[in-house]
Structure 1
Amino acid sequence: MTKTAPVLETRDLTIKFGGHVAVDAVSCAFHAGSLTTIIGPNGAGKTTLFNLISGQLQATSGQVILSGEDLAGLSAEARSDRGLGRAFQLTNLFPNLSALENVRLAVAARHKIGHIFWQRAASRTDLTELAHDYLSRVNLAHKATMMVGNLPHGDQRKLEVALLMALEPKVFMFDEPTAGMSVDEVPVILDLIANLKQQTDKVILLVEHKMDIVRSLSDRIIVLHNGQMVADGEPAEIIASSVVQEAYLGTSAPSDAEVEA
């Protein structure tokens, strides 16, 4: 067991909608250098848990702790400022600006330059160089000058990853990162996430239903059911569990079958 303090913790995290408990006293700790995938059937509470951590929803009770700080009551934006990065839902694209201009603004925000117009950011060659670097990492350097509104869906999702990387968060949160992408585009996102794993000071959280992706990327799997955490362990242990196979993967041996998201 690691002796280092976790980067992120949830403590009895709970949210109720009327009489329905969508997330029920979930407690877990996430350490630097790890990628944890959260799986479970439809309605299990996976995305709701993400929303509670990132601040899209405020908990009925319980805590979210980031680097020792209780984030209770903080907005999604404030949590982002403290190092929680949520891909595809927290990130906003500016469709009337180019891909380069979008990333350059994210770089400016990360370096606390303040609220500036994109024209002022354009005068900073250091910001532009960093923005080009992030675009290269997501294979969009050749589309740097294209308006975001004209980019295909898959390229917009890759751009969102570039924006998230530019913010340099402590925690990367990916909610079904390959959803809606073509077969050809999926490997780019998976390679990006795999490369992020090499940054041993980061935590990566993933909600995913494609088991081939879960197996290839995960250091740890958490299983939710009816808002409760019912399993937590190494991938081989979790996937081999008869209870998990029957409830989430079907009755056959692990394959590329998908957990219903």
Structure 2
Amino acid sequence: MTKEHPILETKDLTIRFGGHVAVDHVSCAFDRGTLTAIVGPNGAGKTTYFNLMSGQLTATGGTVLLNGENITRMPVPERTDKGIGRAFQLTNLFPTLTVRENVRLVAQAKARQGFDLLSIAESHVDLIERADHVLNEVRLIDQADQTVSALPHGDQRKLEVAMLIALGPQVLMFDEPTAGMSVDEVPVILELIGKLKADMDRTILLVEHKMDVIRSLADRIIVLHNGALVADGDPAEVIALPVVQEAYLGKTPEAA
């Protein structure tokens, strides 16, 4: 029986900026239906590693594989078509459109009907129904007709998750999804990601600094330091490592 490929894999993935190696020969495989947290201090290479996998940056060396296919030189739109979806630290929304229109446009692009901003919304009943279904899922249906620029920050982050869901990716990538959110807003995003995790067909990668978030969601933690992979394994075991406690959490093991 042939072993199934990891859904996403990097082999010796490397990028240099002048004399600086930002990601240094990182080899890591991500299986279907898992949530992996990527941690490390500021400047460790976490977001750069994300950018290499999602296509915002092109590797100096090594490979990125999606379902066993080499996508290392593939541009972002093609990676998106093949199943990689990325949510950014800063919201990436259409601020002058309504909440529903933002999600509808993503569903429209997924259905390959193009981004026709002048089209009449009523002519896309199926897309509107899809948008409303997703908005209901993320608890934004009551704000569907509100202009995005008028939304509070927490709701904008929820909308970003909704747009990612509407895209229907196999791999969902979240770069600090709770950044800038109030204490009251964080649990909603965690619940949304938890629901996505429950779908075992999806693979989730998460860059996050909040260890309570990581503990509640992650099946696995990988640690980057100076662009290199220095730890990989079960969350409790990785968090307990002295190198993680001291360098990344600012604690001694006894204080954890």
TM-score normalised by the chain length of structure 2 = 0.94
Q: Distance in 2 between matches of 1:90 and 1:155?
A: 13
* Cα shift at 1:151: 1.1
Give the match's secondary structure for 2:252.
coil
Identity of aligned residues (%): 63
Q: Is the Cα contact below 8 Å between 1:101 and 1:118 reproduced in 2? A: no
* Cα shift at 1:124: 1.7
Q: Is 2:117 the partner of 1:108?
A: no
* Cα shift at 1:182: 1.2
User: Alignment length, in residue pairs?
Assistant: 253
Q: Is the Cα contact below 8 Å between 2:242 and 2:253 reproduced in 1? A: no
Residues 240-251 of structure 1: pairs in structure 2 closer than 5 A: 240-249=240-249, 250-251=251-252
Structure 2: unaligned runs, 5 residues or longer: none
Q: Distance in 2 between matches of 1:99 and 1:35?
A: 28
Structure 1 match to 2:145: 145
Q: Distance in 2 between matches of 1:128 and 1:221?
A: 38
Q: Distance in 1 between matches of 2:7 and 2:116?
A: 31
Q: Is the Cα contact below 8 Å between 2:44 and 2:227 reproduced in 1? A: yes
* Cα shift at 1:115: 3.5
Structure 1 match to 2:119: 119
4+ aligned runs moved over 6 Å, structure 1: none
Structure 2 match to 1:259: none
Give the match's secondary structure for 2:48.
helix
Larger mean Cα displacement after TM superposition, 146-155 or 161-170: 146-155
* Cα shift at 1:91: 7.1
Q: Is 2:56 the partner of 1:56?
A: yes
Counterpart amino acid of residue 143 in structure 2? K
Give the match's secondary structure for 2:119.
helix
Larger mean Cα displacement after TM superposition, 31-40 or 147-156: 147-156
Q: CA RMSD in A?
A: 1.6
> CA 1:40–1:254 in 2, change beyond 3 Å: closer, same or farther?
farther
Structure 2 match to 1:169: 169
Structure 2 match to 1:258: none
Q: Distance in 2 between matches of 1:171 and 1:120?
A: 32
Structure 2 match to 1:234: 234
Give the match's secondary structure for 1:224.
strand
Counterpart amino acid of residue 183 in structure 1? V
Counterpart amino acid of residue 232 in structure 1? D
* Cα shift at 1:150: 1.3
Structure 1: unaligned runs, 5 residues or longer: 256-261
* Cα shift at 1:173: 0.3
Q: Is the Cα contact below 8 Å between 1:32 and 1:200 reproduced in 2? A: yes
Structure 2 match to 1:32: 32
Q: Is the Cα contact below 8 Å between 1:105 and 1:121 reproduced in 2? A: no
Structure 1 match to 2:67: 67
TM-score normalised by the chain length of structure 1 = 0.92
Q: Is the Cα contact below 8 Å between 1:175 and 1:206 reproduced in 2? A: yes
Structure 1 match to 2:188: 188
